[in-house]
Structure 1
């Protein structure tokens, strides 16, 4: 079974994000980029499935600018067999990403698609669900445990009330949550090996998908600075401030 793992290029989680001067987007000049943390979890799960003899090949795929090759090389160092970059200099919305991915799934005869439950830049959490609908496949979202036996995928997912167990028939689309696993660090020998693994670059326009954005960003703003708190001496003083100063009661 072939596994396709989606890898998104995002800002490093430890970087302080700033809005550009025009308030149109985030300022990415000289900003360190990395693999989306949830995509790393998806990649780790794919590698574990291959180590267990369930997967025969892992393809790491990214949709983005040419610089996303760096993140794909990291995925190859983690254990992916080959990489595919669908190159687009424009930021694409989730539906377009899902349509492009569906084309690759059909080309490569994929049996399982793993991707992060969301990306830390846009937080849409939509691509996996849309991809499942386009392909007509079963889907498991927010997975915290994955177990595959024959053609059956047993999945545990996190919901508001606790944990939910699902049994899915392959092929399937699974979005990975934080507690699914702990991604491994790419060792130096594997990083060197990754440089020799195949990485194919194809323009997004080659897939016959309309790349025109249907969503327009009106304005991007930084969140308001949180004001410091105030310590009061008693419950009565707290209630008085809430009533007279804040007007909330």
Structure 2
């Protein structure tokens, strides 16, 4: 089975994240950038499927030069090779443009199965798996907490607020996963050393046949008009109990419509 895993480099969600003042895009240059957390679960699931069914796992990334760091980190977990879509014109691409570029690359790779995280921690729009499936003309099995493969048939337990749904489809397909699906492995020293020698192919927009004016800020269907820092948290209301603390608490809860 030819499996492609989508991996995105994002600013660390545990640190301060900022937008650039010139174009209101994510300031990746000043951030501590890491693999999108949900994508690590996608990598792990791809590796488990390869170990059970054979085949090859390819990492696909769209991003600037520094995204190479995350590519090597992903490869150290066990995938066989990687493809890096690198082009200055991609800066500021919206979700539809991103899906167009990734779909063009996936068309070259001929994947039986595309696995990705259900969302990215910088965008959190959860639409890319659906857009990719639509562009590729394949099924979208999204929000998976469990994935099984039987020949060319995929079965997914789709996580919902009420429980889960069981959905099936034939390959090729796009599957997005939540962090409930597995526990990602840590790269071993052997894996880290091996990752340095694994092939990484670099593709430009010209290689993919995607016009530059259809991506980036110039081709974006949505833009951030303005932004500001979240205001600091203000101090809460303090009630001193002088025998009437209980009544004061109930009055506060009633005013806030909790009771």
| Higher alpha-carbon deviation: 201-210 or 72-81 | 201-210
User: How do 1:1-249 residues align onto structure 2 when only pairs under 5 Å count?
Assistant: 1-20=1-20, 24-52=24-52, 54-89=53-88, 90-209=91-210, 210-211=214-215, 212-232=219-239, 233=241, 234=245, 236-241=247-252
Alignment check: 8 A CA contact 2:115 2:174 kept: yes
Q: Residue 76 of structure 1: CA displacement?
A: 0.9
Q: Residues 68, 19 of structure 1: CA spacing in aligned structure 2 closer, same or farther, 3 A cutoff?
A: closer
TM-score (norm 1): 0.90
Alignment check: 8 A CA contact 1:25 1:220 kept: no
Alignment check: 8 A CA contact 1:3 1:55 kept: no
Q: Partners of 2:44 and 2:257 in 1: how far apart?
A: 51
Q: Partners of 1:120 and 1:220 in 2: how far apart?
A: 18
Secondary structure of 1:180 counterpart: coil
Q: Partners of 1:155 and 1:168 in 2: how far apart?
A: 9
Q: Residue 135 of structure 1: CA displacement?
A: 1.3
TM-score (norm 2): 0.87
Q: Residues 83, 235 of structure 1: CA spacing in aligned structure 2 closer, same or farther, 3 A cutoff?
A: same
- Unmatched 5+ stretches in structure 2: none
| Higher alpha-carbon deviation: 166-175 or 19-28 | 19-28
Q: Residue 165 of structure 1: CA displacement?
A: 1.1
Secondary structure of 2:156 counterpart: strand
Q: Residues 131, 20 of structure 1: CA spacing in aligned structure 2 closer, same or farther, 3 A cutoff?
A: closer
Q: Residue 189 of structure 1: CA displacement?
A: 1.3
1:143-187 CA-partner distances (Å, limit 9, x unpaired): 100000111111111112111111111111001101011111111
1:95-132 CA-partner distances (Å, limit 9, x unpaired): 12211222222212110000110100011111100011
Q: Partners of 1:247 and 1:2 in 2: how far apart?
A: 55
Q: Partners of 1:27 and 1:98 in 2: how far apart?
A: 21
- Unmatched 5+ stretches in structure 1: none
Q: Partners of 1:19 and 1:131 in 2: how far apart?
A: 26
What's the C-alpha RMSD, in Å, of the aligned pairs? 2.3
Q: Residue 29 of structure 1: CA displacement?
A: 4.1
The count of residues paired between Structure 1 and Structure 2 equals 247
